[in-house]
Chain A
Amino acid sequence: MTWLNKNRNPLITALIILIALVLAFSGKSPQTTSSIILSGVTLAALYFLVASGVSLIFGLMDVLNFAHGSLFMFGAYAGWTFYTNPRLLFNTAPILLAVLAGLALSPILARFVALPRWARWLAVLFGIAMAIFALRDFPIDKLVAMGMSMTGKIIPTAEAQEPIATMLLRIGGMFIAGAVASAATATRSAERLEAPMSRTLGIVGGLVALALITLFVRDLGEQAILGTESNWRFLLALGVGAGTGAALGALMEWGLIRPLYARPIYQILLTLGLTFVFDQVVRFVWGPAGAFMEIPQWFNTSSQDCPSDNLLLWFSQHCDSIFVMGRPFPSYRLFIILVGAIMVLGIALLLQRTRFGMIIRAGVQDSEMVEALGINVRRVFTLVFAIGAGLAGLGGVVAAPFLGVYPGMAMEFLLQAFIVVVIGGLGSIPGAVVGALLVGLARAYGDHIVLAGIQLPWMTDAISGSPAIARASTVLIMAIVLFLKPTGIFGKKE
């Protein structure tokens, strides 16, 4: 009851928009309405996975992470690559891990090395040169081509994959490049100097070991992954996407965002700049074209019984679609909705039922006070950043069989996620849910209008719509909400 009272205004706003939606659907048949709603909720689930992270991160750290769409995209590419072309991962991961190991040396280097300003620049240049040298003639195109030609002819291992010895040289070179870069940027901040030597060495050693292990098991690993039954491989790919997103997010927070908490404008510029960098990285590695990921068998079998409105039959046959009000609806999209719903529930439980969630909710109001109680808030920041980025990465892989993977997905989903959080109220998870639903439904309704055209009562023929309507509708909703409630539906007054 108190919850209802406290959230009276947001609920009224949501109600008004809901009524508007009902009116919009009033002329449609129940079949059309239900299929538009299901499509809308599908999109909403994906938007939520990106927007919830943006909202959590802003709520706790006041960081507007413009790179969140890129984390979504990297998750998608990582999961897809794992699914179709693990060889690419096994041959690039060791190199990336080696750079990280070099960079992780910085607390030790900060103790012994203090370069003058001009030498720092030289060191940076040397590090870059070293990295370029170490990566010279790396056969990335052949490795990528492996995945593209999955169904067709497969490039022989000897051509696509370099010998272990060459890879070891590259790994060594990248480790040195990372170490030089960390020496160039090493500062004698108290935090760095305090980090115990053993822990730093442990991290560096662990990363190096991981790089070497990945390299040495690359053939076995590839066979194991490709030999896994495709449905399970897909579930593993979800984990890989989420993990890639989380790791990338944690790294971003630790290395790039953390030094800039005192300068919020720089954070915005930095994360915005990162989106362009990530965009180019994806285009460089995987090419500008994009690709489709196959829908796992669990949701994609066609038999004579499919599609069926017998739920048991539908489930046991793994039908590719299900009849909803007499119209077939793709089963995989129901899976997307399921994942979205589970994550809404998961985040709610995390925030309301755990100590960690309690710390987040307190930190949203006053993170300094939380720290003064004896809680390491920075670690909480990094973890929350990782969780938000992991959700985006998961969303990317979930979206891949539905929308495919392509370089533009980062910007598209970033934009929609920002509209969602602005509508729902920055920093509010219920807001992200409501916002995602509104934007998803508007988008689906817009798509329907584009196909069916608009026919008002006094018109004899429908006028056809343009795809711009679907995109414009979400911005229109944002404008209306901002007009009624400038902080967003669930936003608190600042």
Chain B
Amino acid sequence: MSNILELHSIHTFIGQFHILEGVSLSVAEGSITALLGRNGAGKTTTLKSIIGLRPPREGAVRFGGADIRGRRPYDIAALGIGYVPENRAVFRALTVEENLRIAERKKDDLAKRGDLIFGLFPDLKKFIKLSAGQLSGGQQQMLAIARSLVPENRLLLIDEPSEGLAPILIEQLMESIRSLSAHTTILLVEQNFRMASQLADYYYLIDDGKSVQNGAMKDLVNDRATVQRYLGAS
């Protein structure tokens, strides 16, 4: 299996703060890869570095073999990367339909992918004319993910999808993400270790902006000491 995304020791600064001090990872095509680490370890910054919102100063970001470091976010996204930021950043003033339409890169993207999207998230079809600000937290999260599915993306970067959701919604969300992975590759940042461990095939552990450890998820689940040490949870 080939790697669709590779980070080679990237260094990212926010202002003069050195946030990422050498993060490396690779994401195998078709897999779900979890990026784990405690709060403030640099997980979100890593995703933003990939999509170009926080361009790394050093290192290489390879997507589909090409170095994309330093390119503008819109340029990177257009290569086929979908970004689902934390805190369900849907456009509240736009309707559900507009939130999906705005992600179109070709005129008929939504028409083509509508079946897939509304099959995964039937609620969205019901509320298509409602403004996104009126949706519940869970529905907004669904919409944020659905938005990333409108164009045919080869890689999805999903940041903390379970944050602030009720347990029953988390179950539903996990189902959706699992069925998603049949269509695309996913790099998932998740605090909820139980969720991440059930979804992901591989994991990368970062701490203090540095890559610490990686491997198959099933090995990490049995390594209680590492989980305790880096994630503070069991």
Q: Check A368/B53 contact, CB under 8 A, given A191-B72, A361-B91, A374-B151.
A: yes
B70 cross-chain contacts in A, Cβ below 8 A: 190
The reply to whether B92 and A374 contact each other, CB–CB distance below 8 Å, is no
The reply to whether A365 and B73 contact each other, CB–CB distance below 8 Å, is no
Which of A365, A368, A371 makes the CB contact (< 8 A) with B92? A365
Map CB proximity to B onto A373-399 as digits: 1 under 8 Å, 0 otherwise. 111111000000000000000000000
B83 cross-chain contacts in A, Cβ below 8 A: 369, 372-373
Is A89 among interface residues, defined by CB-CB distance under 8 A? no
Map CB proximity to A onto B86-112 as digits: 1 under 8 Å, 0 otherwise. 000101111000100111010000000
Is B25 among interface residues, defined by CB-CB distance under 8 A? no
Q: Which of B39-75 contact A (CB under 8 A)?
A: 51-53, 70-74
Residue on A nearest B85 in the bound complex, by CB: A369
Which of A190, A191, A373, A376 makes the CB contact (< 8 A) with B102? A373
Q: Counting chain B CB atoms within 10 Å of each CB, which of A190, A355, A372, A375 scores highest?
A: A372
A376 to B75, CA, bound (A): 8
Is A93 among interface residues, defined by CB-CB distance under 8 A? no
Q: How many B residues face the partner with a CB closer than 8 A?
A: 24
**Distance from A51 Cβ to chain B, minimum over Cβ atoms (Å):** 20
**Distance from B92 Cβ to chain A, minimum over Cβ atoms (Å):** 6
* 28 A-B residue pairings within 8 Å (CB atoms): A358-B94, A358-B98, A362-B91, A362-B94, A364-B93, A366-B89, A366-B91, A368-B73, A369-B83, A369-B85, A369-B89, A369-B91, A370-B102, A371-B53, A371-B74, A372-B51, A372-B53, A372-B74, A372-B83, A373-B102, A373-B103, A374-B77, A374-B78, A374-B103, A374-B105, A374-B151, A375-B102, A378-B72
B85 cross-chain contacts in A, Cβ below 8 A: 369, 372
Residue on B nearest A366 in the bound complex, by CB: B89
Q: Check A358/B92 contact, CB under 8 A, given A371-B74, A372-B53.
A: no
The reply to whether A358 and B73 contact each other, CB–CB distance below 8 Å, is no
The reply to whether B72 and A376 contact each other, CB–CB distance below 8 Å, is yes
Which of B72, B98, B101, B151 makes the CB contact (< 8 A) with A371? B72
Residue on B nearest A373 in the bound complex, by CB: B103
A378 cross-chain contacts in B, Cβ below 8 A: 72
Knowing that A190-B71, A371-B53 touch, tell me 4 more A-B residue pairs with CB under 8 angstroms.
Answer: A365-B93, A366-B91, A369-B91, A374-B151
* Residues of chain B having any CB pair with chain A under 8 Å: 51-53, 70-74, 77-78, 83, 85, 89, 91-94, 98, 101-103, 105, 147, 151
**Distance from B205 Cβ to chain A, minimum over Cβ atoms (Å):** 25
The reply to whether B89 and A373 contact each other, CB–CB distance below 8 Å, is no
**Distance from A351 Cβ to chain B, minimum over Cβ atoms (Å):** 10
Residue on A nearest B151 in the bound complex, by CB: A374
A359 to B101, CA, bound (A): 10
The reply to whether B101 and A373 contact each other, CB–CB distance below 8 Å, is no
The reply to whether A361 and B74 contact each other, CB–CB distance below 8 Å, is no
A377 cross-chain contacts in B, Cβ below 8 A: 74
Q: How many A residues face the partner with a CB closer than 8 A?
A: 21
**Distance from A40 Cβ to chain B, minimum over Cβ atoms (Å):** 31
A378 to B103, CA, bound (A): 17
**Distance from A2 Cβ to chain B, minimum over Cβ atoms (Å):** 8
A370 cross-chain contacts in B, Cβ below 8 A: 102
A190 cross-chain contacts in B, Cβ below 8 A: 70-71
Residue on B nearest A368 in the bound complex, by CB: B53
A355 to B104, CA, bound (A): 10
Map CB proximity to B onto A253-272 as digits: 1 under 8 Å, 0 otherwise. 00000000000000000000
A362 to B74, CA, bound (A): 15
Residue on B nearest A365 in the bound complex, by CB: B91
Q: Check A372/B73 contact, CB under 8 A, given A358-B98, A358-B102.
A: yes
A375 to B150, CA, bound (A): 14
A359 to B93, CA, bound (A): 11
Q: Check A371/B91 contact, CB under 8 A, given A359-B102, A362-B102.
A: no
The reply to whether A375 and B94 contact each other, CB–CB distance below 8 Å, is no
A377 to B53, CA, bound (A): 12
**Distance from A335 Cβ to chain B, minimum over Cβ atoms (Å):** 34
A358 to B99, CA, bound (A): 9
A365 cross-chain contacts in B, Cβ below 8 A: 91-93
Residue on B nearest A364 in the bound complex, by CB: B93
**Distance from B12 Cβ to chain A, minimum over Cβ atoms (Å):** 15
B103 cross-chain contacts in A, Cβ below 8 A: 373-374
Q: Check A374/B94 contact, CB under 8 A, given A355-B101, A368-B53, A369-B85.
A: no
The reply to whether A374 and B74 contact each other, CB–CB distance below 8 Å, is yes
Residue on B nearest A262 in the bound complex, by CB: B15
A362 cross-chain contacts in B, Cβ below 8 A: 91, 93-94, 98, 102
**Distance from A94 Cβ to chain B, minimum over Cβ atoms (Å):** 35
Residue on B nearest A193 in the bound complex, by CB: B70
A365 to B83, CA, bound (A): 17
What are the 6 tightest A-B residue pairs by CB atom distance, in nearest-first order? A374-B77, A362-B91, A374-B78, A372-B83, A371-B73, A190-B70
Q: Check A361/B77 contact, CB under 8 A, given A366-B89, A372-B83, A373-B147.
A: no
B93 cross-chain contacts in A, Cβ below 8 A: 361-362, 364-365
Q: Counting chain A CB atoms within 10 Å of each CB, which of B74, B85, B101 scores highest?
A: B74
**Distance from A429 Cβ to chain B, minimum over Cβ atoms (Å):** 12
**Distance from B53 Cβ to chain A, minimum over Cβ atoms (Å):** 6
A439 to B51, CA, bound (A): 45
